[in-house]
Amino acid sequence: MQGIIQLLPDDIINQIAAGEVVQRPSSVVKELVENSIDAGASHIKVTIVDAGRTLIQVIDNGSGMSPVDATLCFERHATSKIRTVEDLFRIYTMGFRGEALASIAAVAQVELKTKRIEDEIGTMVSIHASKIIANEPVLCPNGTSISVKNLFYNIPARRNFLKSDAVEFRHILEEMYRQVLAHPNVAFTLHHNQQEVFNLPISNLGQRIVHLLGKNYTSNLVPVQEQSNGISIKGYISKPDFVKKTRGEQFFFINKRFIKDTYLNHAVISAYEEMLPKGSYPFYCLFLAIDPKHIDVNIHPTKTEVKFDDEKIVYTTLRAAVRVALNTHNIQPQMNFDTNQTTFQNLVQTKNLDFNSKTNSYKPPRINPTEKQNIKHFQELFHKSQWQQDIHHLESTFTEAPTTQQTFSQIKHYQQSDNQNHYWQLHRKYIFAQMPQGVMLIDQHAAHERILYEVFYRSLTQQQGKIQTLLFPIQISLSPIDLTWIREMYSEVRLLGFDIELQSDSILLKGVPADLPPGKESTAIQELIEQFRMYEQTLKLEKRDNLAKSLACRAAIKTGEALTMIQMKNLVDQLFGCTQPYSCPHGRPTAITLTVEELDKLFGRIGHLER
């Protein structure tokens, strides 16, 4: 009796395997470049056409292959990297499973040309969808050239799932970043659609980072070098004040293999302790060398995950190495004492100040013993938990966004009926707006962000962005990956009001949005890219909404900016005109209210005679 279980044909098996190994064009780039590195290449040239859809070509000057190996390499589980089970626990090469080329050949048209230095002539193998089309001698230089054409041509559904060229090429660039940082002793060139993206000579790690990411990294890198517990750690981290709001520039390499590990990331971040601003991430490129018998790299087909036999030792060693590097270079957390002073301390320090005309400085006032005792008593009272509880109670009585709508018309009417000024700024952060039944507190940054968000989103949807032409265009150098971000959002950026001209390694900024504060043109582009990356990674928003939020966040009035009475009034008026004035684009309230009745309760006036 014939059973229903059957062995699958090789071509179907290869396509199933390709689903894990070849997820997108960047997966192909990763596998081919790693093969070139394992072959001992000192120069690798990568050529991409249409973000990898049409062509991915990798040419190296490595060891090459014999005619037999040139054919055998496309068979599943055919590898030169391991021979026995024990070899799995002493892996130093990038590849070892023998799945990559078979998987790639199952979903593309592949042409391989290869030659060893000892051979007089090379070999050419052409294979389409796992079927060998040609296998013949060919004249070619030493090394290997492999071309992958029409990726997923035989699986239209997979091809349709690919993103835009800008997105797919960005993924390729991210993969190339990992490869070129891991191997500064190898020269790399990358071309996309006949344009050179980068040309990196053989160098050391520090030079490679600067060549790849930009000259501003030169003075902001801190070297790390430690050896302990059988672990060698080398590389660079950034100074605490050289950070970004996204995790895009964190690189871990275990035995030169790029990995992703949140546990090790926590070790690095915790080593900075109080040095990092909230929501910021430092750059790091760290290489850990560990005996392969203590790690397992055979976890996932992408080989970006590893297991340690004692991850706690790795954690503590890494954290200590980063901490030592920061301390060695005298990098200490900086405190802003101005923002940590109490209101009373500020009053004391600004009272009766004597000015010294010779030194152009103020002398602190003399305080007699009685005043010292009063200050001490006040500070104790100021920091008592009961006082903090009262403040918390005060905050809890604030009425948030849902009822704020009711007060907007009241304030507007109150303004029109009274010509006196009713605005005050608190700590250059909040605006007090008096109203008939109490007071409204407005977060100046959140309010302005809401206003600008609606302006920019309207520009994007109605395609009517206002451009302020610059008298002198600004040349802005960008890293290759930042340029891909600009290309990805190019049309929307122009709708926002940026007049930019794309160049090979930079952009020429000719105009900016009319609402952008002067002097912030260049940094606005950098921040726009950074904010867009952050939103793209976390919220997956629709692109126009994403861009509007990004630019609004950058261009909005910041905490610490002093506002005139007219500026405060205009800000409140514009907030009233928004379609959604009750919260900023991130969902935080723009304003809260406190009524006179609630104030009376806090001061114990309810039930007492007025006096």
Least confident of 195-204, 232-241, 375-384, 489-498: 375-384
Average pLDDT, the chain: 78
Answer whether residue 370 shows pLDDT above 80.
no
DSSP label of 108: S
Q: What is the pLDDT of residue 30?
A: 92
Measured in degrees and rounded to the nearest 5, phi and psi for residue 484 equal -65, -35
Q: With contact defined as beta carbons under 8 Å apart, do 48 and 169 qualify? A: yes
- The per-residue pLDDT for range 525-542, each reduced to its tens digit, is 887 787 677 666 554 556
**pLDDT mean over 182-203:** 94
Using pLDDT thresholds of 50, 70 and 90, give the confidence band for residue 371: very low
Q: How far apart are CA 216 and CA 221, in angstroms?
A: 10
Classify burial at 464, counting beta carbons within 10 Å of its beta carbon; exposed 0-12, middle 13-18, buried 19 or more. Answer: exposed
Q: With contact defined as beta carbons under 8 Å apart, do 221 and 206 qualify? A: yes
Q: With contact defined as beta carbons under 8 Å apart, do 210 and 238 qualify? A: no
Q: What is the pLDDT of residue 249?
A: 86
**pLDDT mean over 185-206:** 94
Q: What is the pLDDT of residue 541?
A: 55
- The per-residue pLDDT for range 466-488, each reduced to its tens digit, is 788 888 898 888 888 888 888 88
Q: What is the pLDDT of residue 288?
A: 92
Q: With contact defined as beta carbons under 8 Å apart, do 64 and 122 qualify? A: yes
Classify burial at 86, counting beta carbons within 10 Å of its beta carbon; exposed 0-12, middle 13-18, buried 19 or more. Answer: exposed
Task: Residue 601: count other Cβ atoms within 10 Å of its Cβ.
Answer: 14
Give the tokens for residue 62. Answer: 């490595």
**Strand pairing report for 284-289 and 250-254:** parallel
Contacts of 285 (CB under 8 A, 6+ apart): 181, 205, 209, 235, 236, 251, 253
Q: What is the pLDDT of residue 477?
A: 85
Q: How far apart are CA 158 and CA 152, in angstroms?
A: 6
Contacts of 132 (CB under 8 A, 6+ apart): 71, 74, 125, 126
Give the tokens for residue 122. Answer: 């090379």
Q: How far apart are CA 63 and CA 144, in angstroms?
A: 8
Residues linked to residue 254 through DSSP beta bridges, in sequence order: 257, 288
Sheet of 591-595: strands edge to edge?
A: 423-426, 430-435, 438-443, 591-595
> In whole angstroms, how large is the CA radius of gyration of the chain?
31
Nearest C-alpha neighbor of 332 from the set 277, 272, 285: 272
Contacts of 129 (CB under 8 A, 6+ apart): 11, 105, 106, 107, 108, 109, 154
Give the tokens for residue 351. Answer: 């009272």
- The per-residue pLDDT for range 122-131, each reduced to its tens digit, is 999 999 988 9
Give the tokens for residue 35. Answer: 């093969």
**Strand pairing report for 187-192 and 43-49:** parallel
Q: With contact defined as beta carbons under 8 Å apart, do 318 and 267 qualify? A: yes
With residue 251 as reference, give the H or E element that holds it. strand 250-254
Least confident of 15-29, 96-110, 260-274, 415-429: 415-429
Using pLDDT thresholds of 50, 70 and 90, give the confidence band for residue 255: confident
Q: How far apart are CA 98 and CA 497, in angstroms?
A: 51
- The per-residue pLDDT for range 432-471, each reduced to its tens digit, is 888 778 888 999 999 999 998 888 888 777 766 678 888 8
Using pLDDT thresholds of 50, 70 and 90, give the confidence band for residue 2: low
Q: What is the pLDDT of residue 536?
A: 62
- The per-residue pLDDT for range 65-117, each reduced to its tens digit, is 999 989 988 887 656 554 454 544 555 555 445 578 888 998 999 999 999 99
With residue 196 as reference, give the H or E element that holds it. strand 195-200
Contacts of 402 (CB under 8 A, 6+ apart): 582
- The per-residue pLDDT for range 311-368, each reduced to its tens digit, is 889 999 999 999 999 988 766 544 333 333 333 233 233 333 333 333 333 344 444 5
* Maximal CA-CA distance, the chain: 109
Q: Which domains does the chain have, with CATH numbers?
A: 10-200 (3.30.565.10), 205-328 (3.30.230.10), 399-611 (3.30.1540.20)
Q: How far apart are CA 367 and CA 467, in angstroms?
A: 57
Q: How far apart are CA 51 and CA 49, in angstroms?
A: 6
Classify burial at 491, counting beta carbons within 10 Å of its beta carbon; exposed 0-12, middle 13-18, buried 19 or more. Answer: exposed
Q: How far apart are CA 321 and CA 234, in angstroms?
A: 9
Q: How far apart are CA 92 and CA 88, in angstroms?
A: 10
